[in-house]
Amino acid sequence: MIGTMKIREAIPSDAEKLLNHLQKIALETGYMTMGSEGPGQTIEAKQKEIKLILESDVTVLLVALDKEEIIGIAEVHGNKSPKLKHIGDISISIAKDYWGIGLGTMMMEQLIEWANSPSSHLKRVELTVQARNERARHLYEKMGFKLEAIMPRGVKDEDDYLDVCLMSMMIGEI
């Protein structure tokens, strides 16, 4: 909790607000892989996805709310394939008005806590981040993520091909 803000797991009735948030963030920053084309998902499809996520042991979806407004989303997205089930992909997006007040840190802490909990089977979490996104890279390094590779031309923004960093963190012992 920060003031009127709270973080909780997403529920199916969040679907519409969640899609609106993603669309807004995609336009607010050039740091997301998604651009002005938006999430391209219907509200019904998102509701179904959230229902499945609530039952999943490899995926968790958190929302940050200020009163009833969604202001942040953070996810560990797992894989069904047995050979990849130990790997979770992390993504996070916070509305620009709420940057720099510790919300990203709190959401990442909760994702990592979940990844380390008995309800997850994860052994590795990974993410990609544009090399120029210094704020996000600082946050990930602070949380313990290590840089594994820099992928030249990892993303195209307008006419520019940009470097993308692959970062990871191991979870527990094997």
Ligand X SMILES: CC(C)(COP(=O)(O)OP(=O)(O)OC[C@H]1O[C@@H](n2cnc3c(N)ncnc32)[C@H](O)[C@@H]1OP(=O)(O)O)[C@@H](O)C(=O)NCCC(=O)NCCS
Strands 124-130 and 87-94: parallel
156 binds ligand X (CB under 6 A): no
Helix and strand counts by DSSP (H, E) for the chain: 4, 7
- Select the residue interacting with ligand X from 6, 8, 51, 142 (CB under 6 A): 142
Residue of minimal Cβ distance to ligand X: 104
Our CA dihedral for 21, 24, 26, 32, rounded to 10 degrees, sits at -40
103 binds ligand X (CB under 6 A): yes
32 binds ligand X (CB under 6 A): yes
92 vs 111, beta carbon nearer ligand X = 92
53 vs 74, beta carbon nearer ligand X = 74
2 vs 42, beta carbon nearer ligand X = 2
The amino acid sitting at 10 is A
Cβ atoms of 25 and 42 closer than 8 Å: no
Q: How far apart (Å, rounded) are the C-alpha atoms in residues 79 and 95? A: 27
Closest among 52, 53, 57, 50 to 120, alpha carbons compared: 57
Stretch that binds ligand X, among 35-43, 89-97, 117-125, 156-164 (CB under 6 A): 89-97
Minimum CB separation from ligand X for residue 22, in Å? Answer: 11
Question: Which residues lie near ligand X (CB under 6 A)?
Answer: 29, 31-32, 92-94, 99-105, 127, 129, 133-136, 138-139, 142
